[in-house]
């Protein structure tokens, strides 16, 4: 490997050279698991280079386990931290203390974290306190609004300030990192690993039938909603819009896998339970969820990951938020921000359902989030890091 970058100033002074890089990949929630699974698989395919371990905090339990099963990942460490209706203080301190033990015991050469969750933030801090380098997968996304998304924007800013290796999914996220004066030699443009996971999953045989019988004559509108900014009145307003969409468009069938967060579950079931052609179901396994996305006419969501997946499947995505840290597909036209106002959501959905030109324009825009090869690029960067460590 040519021209190893110097990592001297990010390594603890007493660190010894390594032969196989000990990499601990840490994640806790559904989206982190989906997006880290390709990295875990790629690391496992290079055993001469890496002594790879996986730790799950289980910030999520059932939704995490669904993904572990799909990708055949058996964690080396499972902190099993989820509590019903946990708050940010509980989960942050639990992860911080849990990761202190894990990192002290296993002493990895590098810790990989993903994205912007509490698991990401607290694991990065724990690694920093123990002077272990952090590699941040999906680094550099920003809205530059600290309360939107909350607390994810600040989770990401802190993680990027702690990290030593940055895996930026897009040129925009790379530029955000360079703006905060990250060393360009440690910023790798990789694409988003969610596209690796999506392509991998769509290539697998179906694992299970869908839990709802859908009429193929009807158009499918797929919905997810779970963000803290939408709890309470915005979510009620979104629900009213969903009800109106189904009532005003008799050829539409809506599926909403309900996030188990009680702040979501209670409102959604109270507002939308028992409506014809509107199916409230439990969170879906990733494989059938990908099939549903591929079948959908359009997608309404406040999810981060689905904003990236929709464009890859050429599906218009209406985002139930006022801001996004993923502006690329908005610029390209596949994704549009519609917020949480009942009337705006209804109008935008009705337009796409009735105006074929508007629909086609949105559905055919390009995908800016990657080519499905991101995990390989991350692993190559880690090989470079390993070479640098040996010569440090």
Catalytically active residues are 116, 138, 152, 226, 228, 259
Smallest distance from ligand UDP to CB 85, Å: 16
Does position 136 bind ligand UD1 by CB under 6 A?
A: no
Question: What are residue 183's phi and psi, to 5 degrees?
Answer: -65, 120
Among ligand UD1, ligand UDP, none, partner that 262 touches (CB below 5 to 8 angstroms by kind): ligand UD1
Which positions from 99 through 128 interact with ligand UD1, judged by CB under 6 A? 116-118
Give the helix ranges, DSSP H, for the chain. Answer: 30-44, 62-70, 88-106, 118-129, 152-162, 171-179, 193-202, 233-248, 262-272, 286-295, 304-312, 328-332, 342-354, 356-363, 374-391
Q: Report residue 303 CA to chain centroid gap.
A: 8
Binding mask 208-227 for ligand UD1 (x = CB under 6 A): ------------------x-
Does position 31 bind ligand UDP by CB under 6 A?
A: yes
CA dist 194 and 169 (Å) reads 10
- Based on the number of CB atoms within 10 Å of its own CB, is 338 exposed (0-12), middle (13-18) or buried (19 or more)? buried
Does position 310 bind ligand UDP by CB under 6 A?
A: no
Q: Which of 27, 109, 132 is nearest to 71 (CA)?
A: 27
Tokens coding 339: 């917020």
Q: Note whether 80 and 102 are within 8 A (CB).
A: no
Binds ligand UDP (CB under 6 A): choice among 4, 151, 260, 283: 283
Among ligand UD1, ligand UDP, none, partner that 4 touches (CB below 5 to 8 angstroms by kind): none
CA dist 84 and 90 (Å) reads 11
Does position 114 bind ligand UDP by CB under 6 A?
A: no
Among ligand UD1, ligand UDP, none, partner that 343 touches (CB below 5 to 8 angstroms by kind): none
Q: Which of 324, 277, 347, 264 is nearest to 63 (CA)?
A: 264
**Segment interacting with ligand UD1, rule: CB under 6 A, options 254-262, 345-353, 355-363, 365-373:** 254-262
Measured between alpha carbons, how far apart are the two ends of the chain, in Å? 15
Q: In what order do the strands lie in the sheet with 335-337?
A: 278-281, 252-257, 219-224, 298-301, 317-319, 335-337
Tokens coding 6: 């110097």
Among ligand UDP, ligand UD1, none, partner that 361 touches (CB below 5 to 8 angstroms by kind): none
Tell me whether residue 67 or residue 127 sits nearer to ligand UD1 (CB atom).
Answer: 67
Binds ligand UDP (CB under 6 A): choice among 37, 112, 284, 353: 284
Write the CB contacts of 213 (distance below 8 Å, at least 6 apart in sequence).
none
Tell me whether residue 174 or residue 226 sits nearer to ligand UDP (CB atom).
Answer: 226
Binding mask 131-160 for ligand UDP (x = CB under 6 A): ------------------------------
Q: Note whether 39 and 200 are within 8 A (CB).
A: no
Among ligand UDP, ligand UD1, none, partner that 257 touches (CB below 5 to 8 angstroms by kind): ligand UDP
Tell me whether residue 253 or residue 309 sits nearer to ligand UDP (CB atom).
Answer: 309
**Segment interacting with ligand UDP, rule: CB under 6 A, options 48-56, 84-92, 97-105, 301-309:** 301-309
Among ligand UD1, ligand UDP, none, partner that 261 touches (CB below 5 to 8 angstroms by kind): ligand UD1
Placement of tokens 């917020």 in the chain: 339
Smallest distance from ligand UD1 to CB 262, Å: 6
Using CB under 6 A, list all residues that contact ligand UDP: 30-31, 34, 194, 224, 226, 257, 283-284, 286, 289, 303-306, 309
Using CB under 6 A, list all residues that contact ligand UD1: 29-31, 59-63, 82-86, 91, 116-118, 151-152, 226, 260-262
């Amino acid at each position: 490997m040519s021209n190893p970058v110097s990592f001297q100033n990010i390594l603890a002074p007493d660190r010894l050279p390594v032969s196989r890089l000990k990499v601990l990949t840490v994640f806790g929630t559904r989206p982190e698991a989906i997006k880290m699974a390709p990295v875990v698989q790629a690391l496992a395919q290079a055993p001469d280079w890496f002594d790879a371990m996986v730790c799950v905090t289980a910030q999520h339990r059932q939704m995490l386990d669904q993904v572990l099963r799909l990708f055949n990942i058996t964690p080396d460490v499972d902190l099993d931290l989820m509590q019903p209706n946990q708050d940010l203080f509980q989960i942050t301190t639990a992860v911080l203390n849990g990761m202190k033990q894990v990192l002290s015991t296993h002493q990895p050469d590098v810790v990989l974290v993903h994205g912007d969750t509490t698991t990401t933030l607290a694991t990065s801090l724990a690694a920093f306190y123990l002077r272990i380098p952090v590699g941040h997968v999906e680094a550099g996304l920003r809205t530059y609004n600290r309360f939107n998304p909350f607390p994810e924007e600040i989770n990401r800013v802190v993680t990027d300030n702690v990290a030593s290796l940055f895996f930026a999914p897009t040129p925009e996220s790379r530029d955000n990192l360079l703006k905060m004066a990250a060393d360009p030699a440690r910023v790798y443009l990789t694409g988003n690993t969610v596209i690796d996971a999506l392509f991998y999953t769509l290539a697998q045989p179906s694992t299970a039938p869908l839990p709802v019988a859908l009429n193929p004559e009807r158009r499918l509108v797929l919905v997810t909603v779970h963000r803290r900014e939408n709890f309470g009145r915005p979510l009620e307003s979104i629900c009213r819009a969903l009800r109106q969409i189904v009532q005003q468009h008799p050829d539409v069938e809506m599926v909403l896998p309900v996030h188990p967060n009680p702040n979501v579950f209670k409102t959604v079931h109270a507002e939308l339970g028992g409506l014809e052609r509107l199916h409230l179901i439990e969170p879906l396994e990733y494989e059938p969820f990908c099939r549903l996305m591929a079948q959908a006419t359009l997608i309404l969501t406040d999810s981060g990951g689905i904003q990236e997946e929709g464009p890859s499947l050429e599906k218009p995505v209406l985002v139930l938020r006022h801001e996004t840290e993923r502006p690329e597909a908005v610029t390209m036209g596949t994704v549009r921000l519609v917020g949480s106002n009942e009337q705006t959501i209804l109008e935008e959905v009705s337009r796409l359902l009735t105006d074929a030109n508007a629909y086609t324009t949105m559905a055919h825009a390009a995908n800016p989030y990657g080519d499905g090869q991101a995990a390989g690029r991350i692993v190559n960067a880690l090989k470079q890091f390993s070479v640098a460590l040996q010569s440090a």
